[in-house]
Structure 1
């Protein structure tokens, strides 16, 4: 069984960690507000999402948005504008609350009553690696039937847990699973 990659990119290979690609794809599937938080429309949409119910307000506070109700009301009315640091907190709290809210539904869609979801793994980019050092790494597909640990770690924002859960999945690729620790893209739909 191969070891984990220690010095990725040393010879010019390009790509991202497989678990990061999974996070990106899950975020796309979760949907949400596309307008950036720096634009008034994006800010207002996030603030309304985070303050709509008492449950969402509590979740926003747990996610790190710890401002007074008076400040929050001034932002909602447009009387004051959040600082750059608060804009980042608002965006992070929105992503955290959104992930938590859609995780259960997304998990059911990915597991599909035990049938799972087909995953496409696009290998790392070796175009900048000298020819004698390139490895033969090909496009692979696999069916992932158990998404529970992956989605739970994603919803909790547990990067290490997600990385470990994704590693447990790619081990099913066989003895060459280490070649797919870094990829250019991972695609799946639910």
Structure 2
């Protein structure tokens, strides 16, 4: 695609890919459990979430948590403690299941019956770039009406699809859309 940055940061610019900022904001809207999985309370909350229904158990298995029900019950009762590898699997499975569970709800909020959601794009940080190499990049906003591909890619944790879907949205900024491939923040509230 035109205007894709090949050597981002070569002269000191700082920022993250726009789709990563979008994923962060969607994660905030998803409302994950804030207590860490390493704390007993956080572990129990995640295990209850993953074992509440047969559908949640199946989704947890698909996400990589393949321990037996007996092991999960021992964890819930405090008879055993999960290994670091299993704690990571529990966290990964919890996030995957949570994303799928809230995706439809977020899609409805973001699409807002066709009105869409206003997105604020904060440009990359050029404070470390030498003065002659700095370019004029200002704060921009746009209204995104169709979030289907973005939310689907986020729910599936597919970075490439999310990047493609996000670039499809920022092309609406006009001929300078490539300047917003890297940003400091993308903000929206639904």
TM-score range, shorter chain: over 0.9
Q: TM-score, normalised by structure 2?
A: 0.98
Q: Structure 2 matches for 1:27-42, cutoff 5 A?
A: 27-42=27-42
Post-superposition Cα deviations, 1:45-102, rounded to whole Å, max 9, x if no partner, equal 0000000111100000000101111111111111111111111110010000000001
Residues of 2 paired with 1:48 and 1:90: CA distance? Answer: 11
Number of the residue aligned with 1:119: 119
CA distance in 1, matches of 2:127, 2:39: 38
Q: Secondary structure of the equivalent of 1:118?
A: strand
* Aligned positions, number: 190
Q: Distance in 1 between matches of 2:88 and 2:13?
A: 32
Instruction: Return the alpha-carbon distance in structure 1 between the equivalents of residues 2 and 131 of structure 2.
Output: 22
Does the CA contact (< 8 Å) of 1:60 and 1:93 recur in 2?
A: yes
Q: Is the CA contact (8 Å cut-off) linking 1:2 and 1:177 kept in structure 2?
A: no
Cα shift at 1:8: 0.9
C-alpha distance in structure 2 between counterparts of 1:53 and 1:5, whole Å: 45
Partner of 1:102: 102
Q: Segments of 4+ in structure 1 off by > 4 A?
A: none
Aligned-pair Cα RMSD in Å: 0.9
TM-score normalized with structure 1 length:
0.98
Q: Which runs of 5+ in 1 are unaligned?
A: none
